[in-house]
A = this chain, B = another copy of it.
Amino acid sequence: MHLPAELLFRLREIFPIDALATGEAERIAYSYDNSRRQALPDAVVFPTEHAQVEALVQACRAHEVPVIARGRGSNTTGATVPVAGGVVVSFERMNRILRIDPDNRLAVVEPGVLNGDLQQALAAHGFFWPPDPSSAPWCSIGGNLACNSAGPRTVKYGSPRENTLGLRAVAGSGEGFRCGTYTSKGATGYDLTRLLIGSEGTLALITEATLKLTPKPSAVRTLRATYRDVGAAARAVARIMAQPVTPCALEFIDDAALKLAHDHGGDRVPLAGAMLMIEVDGEPATLPSAVDAVSAAARGDGLEELRVAETAEETRALWAARKALSPAQRTISPHKINEDVVVPVSHLPALVDGIRLLSAKHDVLIVSFGHAGNGNLHVNLLPRDDAERERAHACLADVFALVLSLEGTLSGEHGIGMVKREFMPLALEPATLELMRNVKAAFDPDGILNPGKLLP
């Protein structure tokens, strides 16, 4: 505990006794996230209302103590690890759905609402909120917004940046503010809403969000296509995205990942050189022609089998296997390096081929799968011992260089956090980074919000 006594006294005024934790056990529980990086905070607070967050940031600012917003810690980049100590703000108790407004296709939520809980509440009204990370059942909307977390449906429906209308937040200055609109369109001043989305808690703490909802399509069809090798599958992805019917999911799974998924999901998951899961949605009458269009594009050199999932159970098994891939890899390598690089779709074949070469060159197992329709691949380096870990780090630098040479960028949906911070100068020009630093200073003049993240 290194908090100044005066600050601790103030925190006790702001928070009830059960909403301020300073014991070691609680501090350890909030010291790490899914990146497996770790650093002890000095205290953890559990706000239940906006005013507490304002008072907290003002108090911490007065003492130059770091403030780290935290959803459910499911991010993979260390974005919520309190590397410089300070106060972790867990939003888990600010978890009310404040308003579901189907007539205006929007919902107002507190940041601690779980993505899965929101989807369930919306389904009753015939709507959904498009962002759907694999961690949907246990990740929070606040975390989704902070990291611009996306998921398979992004290829058709967009990320949080395309699906959020307004925010309430507290800047690093300690000032609360609202931005954006309660309407589906707006041109009243600067777009601070999108600026906060993906800023990983470094500009402001989000205390309320107005989300844009999408009507649930009435029907879905899932196809699986297996290919001789990863290159053939990647070329099929580029063909599918170059025709007009946009699938609502287009997932790529390489041979090593398929093996993992097969171990987890059983024989309903095929073994092959690579597999695509393709999903189309819409009104029932439209689906046969949509299935035809994507099927035609999926066919080509190297296709082994193309079939439409016959039963809901078969579809569920495919998705369960796909969603289990991230956790399953921990069994191979507790120190897996989980990247989520993104390239223009037409360069996906070159990316997949290049990764194969780098895996061989550095002698590191790499398992790749992900949201191929966006060119967004989860490239997982799976070192099994210390020597491999060192090789994996060298390999990673080569992977980023490859991605940038293919007009891609470091992250499609995981963000930067601690782990990709050092690579930012490869992806962004000095002038762009400088503007980002100026923007940071505009919101957080003393640099107390989530220090050590995002900007190098």
Q: Which residue of B lies closest to A244 (CB)?
A: B215
Q: Tell me, rounded to whole Å, the shortest Cβ–Cβ distance linking A110 to chain B.
A: 19
Residue A140 interfacial (CB < 8 Å): no
Residue A137 interfacial (CB < 8 Å): no
The listed residue (B218, B342, B438) touching A186 by CB distance below 8 A is: B342
Are A345 and B159 neighbours in the complex by a CB distance under 8 Å?
Answer: no
The listed residue (B126, B286, B412, B424) touching A189 by CB distance below 8 A is: B424
Residue A195 interfacial (CB < 8 Å): yes
Given A286-B283, A290-B283, A435-B177, verify A346-B101 contact (CB < 8 Å): yes
Per-position contact with B for A425-449: 1 when CB-CB < 8 Å, else 0? Answer: 0011101111110111111000000
Given A192-B436, A439-B442, A442-B438, verify A187-B103 contact (CB < 8 Å): no
The listed residue (B182, B246, B343) touching A183 by CB distance below 8 A is: B343
Residue A198 interfacial (CB < 8 Å): yes
Q: Give residues in A with beta carbon < 8 Å to B.
A: 101-106, 126, 147-150, 154-155, 158-159, 161-162, 171, 175-179, 181-192, 194-195, 197-199, 203, 215-218, 238, 241-246, 282-283, 285-286, 288-290, 340, 342-346, 371, 374-376, 407-416, 424, 427-429, 431-436, 438-443, 454-455
Interchain residue pairs with CB less than 8 A apart (18): A101-B346, A103-B345, A104-B241, A104-B375, A177-B429, A183-B344, A183-B408, A186-B342, A186-B411, A189-B416, A189-B432, A189-B454, A190-B436, A191-B198, A192-B195, A194-B195, A218-B244, A438-B442
